[in-house]
Structure 1
């Protein structure tokens, strides 16, 4: 939302009010704010329907969410006890610490919102710049509000009584929409780079709710402006250029056929799209669209032999811990009995008619294991220029040295080379030293330096590895003299700009690794590029295979 704190505060409160008028169609609100006075004041000023919503945490168990047998209560009572889940009760919900929500819970809540089982959903996001609530939940919330930098003592509140909100809810079913409003909203969303059809539907619902709140039975241009500023502003990824673009599919409206603005849009006249775009433009701080296009969410990554993963299925056993059983946390029967045994005498004296063992909730112990994900080390080697053969030879040696230890460390190794106009995966992920030597023999070198293409190939390989449950890591060997852009054209400036853009995407993958500068003299540009990927930088102008391997091992914490 807009830079001015007052505008953000009032817009957020208005969005919350509209949410209570039509919760079924507006879905929810994504509130991004750290714990502090501003968030406390904002939550205190929410309408009662939202303020009293039950809170759920990212670690909520399926039994609590859906209901079912309460194991702890059943063991304590000696009979089966069932409980209703949060979703069965319906109504508004507040998701706290949403940035830590896993994909499983996000999918369950998304399905519940789509089915109308719950709503509205208030998404409390306390994440940093690189942390964010799941997109599948944000997508289903009509509104968003960021309270960063706000001081609540200087903000005014929207004073609306419960009677006014009840009257708006009663009037909502009678509010009509102009015939061309939805078409204009869809084209406006497309012009702003919004590719979801939920956004125009949310804007339609917000415009009708605002008209009902204002006491009108038809949507006007004012209602549409407010709706798009609340729904489209935080979704926009671009603004239409001032001059016509050859790639723009929709031509600008003809001024001779455009209405002069004296008539009411509710009577069926054309609603100017430029008016709606300007309403969104007014809510966007400078530079925000570029940040959104480069938005990234750091994924957890491991070091050494791969990321540690705890669970209840497989791996090295860990000591049992107290807790509540769930679909992902199983009871350790032996540890539970061991914890309950010392108390049987006291419990039997207090309840002599109870047969068998008497187990309390505090006795429950959960099984835990620790597993290591398989690590994939991706060597990305510059095979261009006169020094290509030397770099390739040493890179081959480093790959072979890494593979010699792959079995003991559960590593796989892959090799990406870039030269000429593009990049290729010269060695797919493998642990086989024989296969590696066969594929590495006779790799070509020379030509231009398409560094961005090499980083793009690494990004694709890393994403596939992560989806397969592996922990990807990168070792980039280059002198940093990029001169081939992604489209294939020449030009050092554009080539380096494309490489920096791809570096931003790689940082979002959360890779461990190192950038090894193989040039005769260290290049500051390459160290900056390493920083953009959040990787270490190591200058090795005369590196041999053993030195490269030591550098990679040090960066990965081996």
Structure 2
């Protein structure tokens, strides 16, 4: 962790910065102090105030000087003032989307309103369960550091000695990114820069590639590389009287059984923390806010967290006085006449009201495959996860619902609720067995989720299934038709813009993964999922 701080201090703008996930406390302050002490003397250090406006961030009118002079006078923004230094963003998980996009644009261009603004960005993520740092901004930063309960790791063991030539750094890091499911090219680009910084003036070797992969690529992983398939064993020994075949000459050196790329891959894989699934799901696709109903009205609320301002009537919102004065200031010289006695002339078009964002509750819709011989095991997992989530619903103001599908159709076993008594009553009598009407189950979950969204809540669907549909919507059997209808239902879910997580409860992952891909959902392979694991994964996905 401190190694990343020292690397970042050497090239803040080139490496972008870091996302530091930790609550306020000594661990976080110790890491920041390590970074600050490694920076050259006199390096600028700025903290981004919550709710900062564009004028303060990028630059704009100097309000006092403009009012005094009667003409527009510009001033530099915080980003231009931090040129060559570090910008620290507290509570980065609550950063408004507009501010995040402006920070990303400044990182890309190195300027802010035609002023130099080359800085390193530190996003302090306090780890709230229902909020994460904007991925578009985090993607531009080299390091993602989780300090929650983590101590400084021991020194890494030396890499295995290999007689093979040193791998190509660019090719190796790109191959690593592909193996770990990293789609963005910024990951391997930043990893190459880190490897170059580690190597100094010398060539980039295997040790630098491994270190860069561990520091940059491992925290970005969206999947674990698939293990190599074991070689099939011979079915039976040849008869004793059969002629012995001469063994072929071995052309491959036994010491080269593990290629250099495999050595690097395994070393980076070892750097992924045990709770990888939770961390991967935490970066999942978020549900966009609806434009109608109570969710769409949240921007016009009179309570909540300020996220900006807009032109409006103060009788229908809260007046943003500073934004109003900034809008009126450039026009004062034209508005002052001989008969005007007011020092500042404010007109209706200058009035600005605050945009306040309210928190919307989350409703998790569990869609459980209750068919087949393993139904009791799957239902037990779902019941345990639902009860664990309900125990937290009182604090997070969240709800859960349960849809089960078996036989020839699906049913809503538990409507959206946060009542423990009602949930346990509905879960206790849940039956199992029969066919797998997967399309009907997805349709029912989508209907519940859309109703939840119309009511002002944020829905998310958790589908527990092996993906092997064998009952069509009409109730007739047939795997081909049932599978096609299931994929069609999954694509309908995706088109509705619903966040989803597919938990594969089968022994083969092809069918469930195909359903997850069709619905644009996160995929979680848990053939023997514990209730605690599933609950943690769902919380991270939301």
Structure 1-normalised TM-score? 0.52
What's the CA shift for 1:489? 4.7
Distance 2:269 2:365 in 1: 44
Q: Secondary structure of the equivalent of 1:93? A: strand
Give the conservation status (yes or no) of the 8 Å contact 1:453–1:486. Answer: no
**Match for 1:18 among 7, 14, 25?**
7
Q: Provide the residue aligned with 1:183 in structure 2.
A: 171
What's the CA shift for 1:241? 3.7
Q: Provide the residue aligned with 2:206 in structure 1.
A: 221
Q: Provide the residue aligned with 1:236 in structure 2.
A: 221
**Match for 2:323 among 322, 325, 331?**
325
**Match for 2:353 among 360, 367, 371?**
367
What's the CA shift for 1:24? 4.0
Where do 5+ consecutive residues of structure 2 fail to align? 112-117, 156-164, 232-249, 301-309, 330-339, 372-402, 411-433, 472-478, 480-502, 523-529
1:41 and 2:33 correspond:
no
What's the CA shift for 1:315? 8.6
What's the CA shift for 1:120? 1.8
Distance 1:98 1:156 in 2: 29
After superposition, residues 3-82 of structure 1 pair within 5 angstroms as 12-46=1-35, 47-48=38-39, 52-71=44-63, 73-75=65-67, 78-82=70-74
Where do 5+ consecutive residues of structure 1 fail to align? 1-11, 158-176, 247-253, 262-269, 334-354, 386-415, 424-446, 509-524, 535-558
After superposition, residues 166-205 of structure 1 pair within 5 angstroms as 180-205=168-193
Q: Secondary structure of the equivalent of 1:68? A: strand
Distance 2:27 2:19 in 1: 15
Structure 1 residues 132, 320: closer, same or farther in 2, change over 3 A?
Answer: closer
1:279 and 2:281 correspond:
no
Give the conservation status (yes or no) of the 8 Å contact 1:93–1:120. Answer: yes
Give the conservation status (yes or no) of the 8 Å contact 1:110–1:137. Answer: yes
User: Superposition RMSD on alpha carbons, in Å?
Assistant: 5.9
Give the conservation status (yes or no) of the 8 Å contact 1:448–1:484. Answer: no
Distance 1:155 1:533 in 2: 28
What's the CA shift for 1:201? 1.4
Structure 1 residues 306, 56: closer, same or farther in 2, change over 3 A?
Answer: same
Could you give the per-residue CA deviations for residues 454-496 of structure 1, whole angstroms, max 9, x where no partner exists? 4478569969998xx99456799xxx9x997535258999489
Structure 2-normalised TM-score? 0.54
Q: Secondary structure of the equivalent of 1:232? A: helix
Could you give the per-residue CA deviations for residues 65-107 of structure 1, whole angstroms, max 9, x where no partner exists? 2222234542355443211223444333222211011221222
Give the conservation status (yes or no) of the 8 Å contact 1:193–1:237. Answer: yes
1:306 and 2:301 correspond:
no
Give the conservation status (yes or no) of the 8 Å contact 2:367–2:464. Answer: no
Could you give the per-residue CA deviations for residues 9-59 of structure 1, whole angstroms, max 9, x where no partner exists? xxx221122123233432111111211112122212212359742222352
What's the CA shift for 1:208? 0.8
Distance 2:437 2:537 in 1: 18
1:256 and 2:252 correspond:
yes
Distance 1:372 1:453 in 2: 34
Structure 1 residues 459, 295: closer, same or farther in 2, change over 3 A?
Answer: farther
Distance 1:281 1:483 in 2: 27
Distance 1:295 1:238 in 2: 12
What's the CA shift for 1:141? 0.7
